[in-house]
Amino acid sequence: MNNKNNSIYLEKPKYLYTILMRGDNGAGKTQVLNRYVDGDFGDTSGYVDFKVKNLIINEEYIKLRIWDLSIGCESFRRSQAYFRNIHGIVFIYDIINIESFTSIKQHWYEHYKKFRLDNKDVPSSKSSLNPGYGLKNNIPQILVIGTKSDLRNKDNYKKCVDTDQAREFANSINALFYETSSKDNINVNSSFLDLTTQLINCTETIEVSNNNDQKTQQKKPFSICSIN
Ligand SMILES: Nc1nc2c(ncn2[C@@H]2O[C@H](COP(=O)(O)OP(=O)(O)OP(=O)(O)O)[C@@H](O)[C@H]2O)c(=O)[nH]1
Ligand SMILES: [Mg+2]
């Protein structure tokens, strides 16, 4: 990274997006986070509720706060409160565990969908606690990840989650779709880069008048807060 890019981190981020990871126990959420944020395939026994990833896209400094509510927090999980301030949601299943994929469709996505339906009448424009705040129509963007692709081989292939079926599900819920391996560092960066680019593209623009009264489009600033 050059000096210009290094010094950009001293500035405030242009955007801070909050992303939530959901999926069965053992699906691979913590390793996705380890790989993406720390660049390793590490220990998953400790409890970290979120990690922060700093990115530069088109010379703009973007910060992602990614939640991994793996362990504990049962009452918090049931309360759905964690959906409240998200911009992106990542549903993660284990490619070699069909049940974990079924669970995404029948439990994790349905849970999220119910939250959206239950909260559709909540006024959404004023509070950064509303899901998707600052995005067009306040709709969080979704990424579906099938992970542990390194474990699929010709012997267990038929018992694994079918790629086309998973892609079809992702398409049906307007989600991005990737198969990844945190262990072999395959597609983890690309999947989050794609999600982040989509978030930037979906960030609302506002019209701003300059001195000559000409109107220009600017992205609406939001979610800039004091997370380090
Ligand atoms: N081979 C392989 N193993 C993986 C991969 N990702 C995760 N694992 C392993 O799968 C197990 C579960 O991974 P975690 O990341 O802890 O799963 P989790 O979704 O965070 O699970 P909970 O915290 O219990 O909800 C661990 O033993 C990981 O090392 C991968 O891409 N390839
Ligand atoms: Mg975990």
Give distance in angstroms: CA of 32 to centre of ligand 1: 8
Q: Are strands 88-94 and 15-22 parallel, antiparallel or unpaired?
A: parallel
Position 223 confidence tier, pLDDT thresholds 50, 70, 90: very low
pLDDT at 70 over 90: no
155-181 pLDDT per residue, tens:
999 999 999 999 999 999 999 999 999
pLDDT at site 178: 98
Task: Give, in order, the Cα–Cα distances in Å from 70 to each of 23, 49, 84.
Answer: 9, 8, 18
pLDDT bracket for residue 138 (50, 70, 90): confident
Look at residue 74 and tell me whether its pLDDT is greater than 80: no
**pLDDT tier for residue 194 given thresholds of 50, 70 and 90:** very high
- Cβ of 141 closer than 6 Å to ligand 1, yes or no, is no
pLDDT for 180 equals 98
The confidence band for 224, taking pLDDT boundaries of 50, 70 and 90, is very low
pLDDT at 76: 54
Ligand 1 centroid–CA 68 distance in Å is 12
Taking residues 44-73, report their average pLDDT.
84
Which residue among 20, 25, 31 has the greatest number of ligand 1 atoms within 8 angstroms of its CB, and so is best to mutate? Answer: 31
The pLDDT assigned to 220 comes to 54
Residue with CA at minimum distance from ligand 1 atom 7: 28
Atom of ligand 1 nearest to the CA of 23: 19
Q: Is the CB of 26 under 6 A from ligand 1?
A: yes
What is the structure's pLDDT at 9? 63
Question: What are 108-122's pLDDT values in tens digits?
Answer: 999 899 888 887 766
pTM: 0.87
Average pLDDT, the chain: 83
Q: What is the pLDDT of residue 10?
A: 62
More confident residue, 37 or 136: 37
Instruction: Please indicate whether residue 191, judged by its CB atom, sits closer than 6 Å to ligand 1.
Output: no
Which atom belonging to ligand 1 lies closest to the Cα atom of 21? 19
The class (CATH top level) of 3-218 is: alpha beta
The residue ranges of every structural domain in the chain are 3-218
Q: Is the CB of 63 under 6 A from ligand 1?
A: no
> Rounded mean pLDDT of 209-216?
58
**Best probe residue, ligand 1, of 35, 38, 44 (max atoms within 8 Å of C-beta):** 44
Percent of the chain with pLDDT over 90: 57
Q: What is the pLDDT of residue 227?
A: 34
pLDDT at 45: 78
Confidence of residue 1 (pLDDT cuts 50, 70, 90): very low
